[in-house]
Structure 1
């Protein structure tokens, strides 16, 4: 059974959650999309003003304490960095996270964040996209720098995005081997990539320079550009502890195989280096993390086939993945 087979329960929870806030009487919610959670727009029916975005999390994905950790990081970013992220809105009782029991008996956690102006990055905007990725690299470096300086970072209750939780035995989003489009021959090639990735990650290791608190899903839809060309970051739902390089790999999710990808990576690196150092050891593993992310998203596409974004991404997925895999084996095989 898929996570959203009973979408009506999410709608019921969303309508219960909105009642816990002091919004004007003309406030309504509009269902937007399904991903790791169900997302709703909160808006004023009279002025059409966007008030915020309501997230209803899947049961058993995050705990209340993990949501608390996300809120704490959001406020640290907005208060102590030059970046802008969407702050959570507090309910009538002064809390940010609402615990709501669904009609199915499961516990659902909800949170509302403010609505930020801007449009998602678009790789088709060839005139601006490389410069935007340079700004994204700079922003990502500020995030990494902030987590290194914040003395409470290590105490946050968020999971580790390590090999096992990404594509290994405890993979959070399922196993890439289950993707229905891969043939047996494809799986043989991808298994070779998987084995090389695991070995290279062990050698790369985890240290203060390459591992810490990361956004973990800095792809195009989670990065907004406003009319003043300012970049904003949204959706910290997947934030956890991982390799910093994962934020680079995530930024080109679903477009790793496109011709523009190398230009975007180079732009990202230029921006990152304005704020943080980038070692030769990390540079040598960029392809490893790109392949790691591609395998992770293969699993995600299969286990989240009921998710709206997944439906479009599956087009040409196998061909793109196998092109990346064969290139990876030419480099490291």
Structure 2
């Protein structure tokens, strides 16, 4: 299933909801439970209400992750919760004890579904971003520290977020050249950006102190803040092997132009260093990873044109990317 197929038609969404309802039986929930779509991105996520109980069901898109990769995601999610003090939603087992189930989708292949506990909260408010980025930096450092020390299960498998995944012959989110509004002028600017990023990333290298298991999508929408409670990190669906600083690049996804970003970065670095060292040479490459993520998002918008956020940002995001690219290439970022 392509993401735009899932979000771009009522018939497809209705079918996905039927998959969700079939999954409820596997968890011992009432067939009359409320099933409300929360969002659609790579997958479809539903709020399930059964009497006073609330849970969250994720219905996977087709062809993105193997069963082994889904199991690996859930392994790390649970290990972070149990061993690293990172607040993540608990995975709720099915009646047979399975951490995820496979449900028939008539007219298509079967889909994997995962049930999570419901965690209250909302993404950080815009007027408090600088404040929230310091604890986010500390949370991210705890995740990275755990990733460095964790003995992964023998069958662990997740994909990489490296230059080949972004710019290789089969880029994971498509080609940035096919992004919305990539005309001749934008192509020229972004081609120079790609070349510069390739060079900087190759020099930066993939040493174990710089490259390892990361969340890879720590944007605001995947953080839940609830009063004075610790921030909850959700949606590990893109977790994989990548540069640790990519998690900071992902944290400013879609808001890279915000005037408070320099202050947000300073707060994040301060929080990160409260847990784990960050050498000055690494800090100097932060904007490399912000621009690397940004160019990936240009590709994502082009290949996910039916997803609401991609449709809303469209060609304007590409124009903004060119403006930031010129500043990055000139050394003014």
The question of a shared fold, defined as TM-score above 0.5 by the shorter chain, is answered with yes
Which residue does 2:56 correspond to in 1?
53
CA contact (8 A) 2:87 2:233 kept: yes
Q: CA deviation at 1:323?
A: 1.5
Q: 1:19 aligns with which of 25, 28, 33?
A: 25
Partners of 1:166 and 1:137 in 2: CA distance: 24
Q: CA deviation at 1:87?
A: 1.4
Which residue does 2:136 correspond to in 1?
136
Which residue does 2:313 correspond to in 1?
313
3-state secondary structure, aligned to 1:306: coil
Which residue does 2:37 correspond to in 1?
31
Cα shift readout 1:90-137 (whole Å, capped 9, x = no counterpart): 0111101111231123131111111112110132x2xx3212100000
Structure 1 stretch 90-99 or stretch 316-325: which is displaced more? 316-325
Which residue does 2:75 correspond to in 1?
72
Is 1:268 the counterpart of 2:268? The answer is yes
Q: Give 5+ residue unaligned stretches, structure 2.
A: none
Partners of 1:167 and 1:276 in 2: CA distance: 30
Which residue does 1:299 correspond to in 2?
299
3-state secondary structure, aligned to 1:316: helix
Cα shift readout 1:140-196 (whole Å, capped 9, x = no counterpart): 000000111111268521111111112332211111110131221111011000011
Q: CA deviation at 1:311?
A: 2.6
3-state secondary structure, aligned to 1:212: strand
3-state secondary structure, aligned to 2:288: helix
Q: 1:116 aligns with which of 104, 119, 134?
A: 119
Q: CA deviation at 1:290?
A: 0.8
Q: CA deviation at 1:293?
A: 0.6
Aligned residues: 327
Structure 1 stretch 263-272 or stretch 305-314: which is displaced more? 305-314
Q: 2:86 aligns with which of 83, 88, 111?
A: 83
Q: Kindly tell me: are residues 308 and 53 of structure 1, through their superposed partners in 2, closer, same or farther at Cα, counting changes over 3 Å?
A: farther
Q: CA deviation at 1:27?
A: 2.6
Q: Tell me the TM-score normalized by structure 1.
A: 0.93
Q: Give 5+ residue unaligned stretches, structure 1.
A: none
Q: CA deviation at 1:23?
A: 2.7
Structure 1 stretch 60-69 or stretch 26-35: which is displaced more? 26-35
Structure 1 stretch 139-148 or stretch 226-235: which is displaced more? 226-235
CA contact (8 A) 1:17 1:110 kept: yes
Partners of 2:28 and 2:124 in 1: CA distance: 33
